[in-house]
Structure 1
């Protein structure tokens, strides 16, 4: 295990090349900022309508939602017809959290009177 001893006087005085590194870092950041601005300006000139938001995706989403609802309604109708044709029970269409398109309706029966 290596332990470096650092004194307070070492920390107080900057390293000999620290000023040069800081100036170099500032120059690089300034150059990157200029390049970034130039690229943004060029892209906006080449594609003038690129910054205009389009409302088309919302329209497509609404259309998709409507088509999905129609598809589910058709599935519910088919499931309901199949259940009524093949079962003696009664079913209703229902939006279920569990993905059930139809649910059976169970009648409530009064409990039998207590035997005396």
Structure 2
């Protein structure tokens, strides 16, 4: 009567839901922070200069994180090419895979 839910798919759905909740919580926290900063800058006109600093730190952190991921992707790609006869590419994956195999399409005969 009821569709059977595979444990792997329910675990994945649970992970995705937790990830969404964490993202929404982070967005809400940032929104509150910006609203509070906006209120304080209207009370103190000179305070708007200091508001750009947190964005610079976040941009720097994001750039460093991207470089780290790129280095991991490069290492994974080199390892895969050295130890496999297949072909792999770097690709962002919803499942966190750093590299993905490329499978050729074969024409049906």
The Cα of 1:98 is off from its aligned counterpart by: 1.3
Task: Show structure 2 runs of 5+ residues with no match.
Answer: 1-43
Of residues 57, 62, 66 in structure 1, which corresponds to 2:59? 62
Task: Show structure 1 runs of 5+ residues with no match.
Answer: 1-48
Question: Could you say what secondary structure the match of 1:52 adopts?
Answer: helix
4+ runs deviating over 3 angstroms: none
1:21-55 residue CA offsets vs partner (Å, 9 max, x unmatched): xxxxxxxxxxxxxxxxxxxxxxxxxxxx8x82522
Q: Report which of the two structures shows the higher radius of gyration computed on alpha carbons.
A: 1
Does 1:52 pair with 2:72? no
Alignment match, 1:84: 81
Alignment match, 2:72: 75
CA RMSD in angstroms comes to: 1.6
Of residues 91, 96, 109 in structure 2, which corresponds to 1:94? 91
Aligned residues: 63
Equivalence map 1:17-36=2 (5 Å): none
State the TM-score, normalizing by the size of structure 1.
0.50
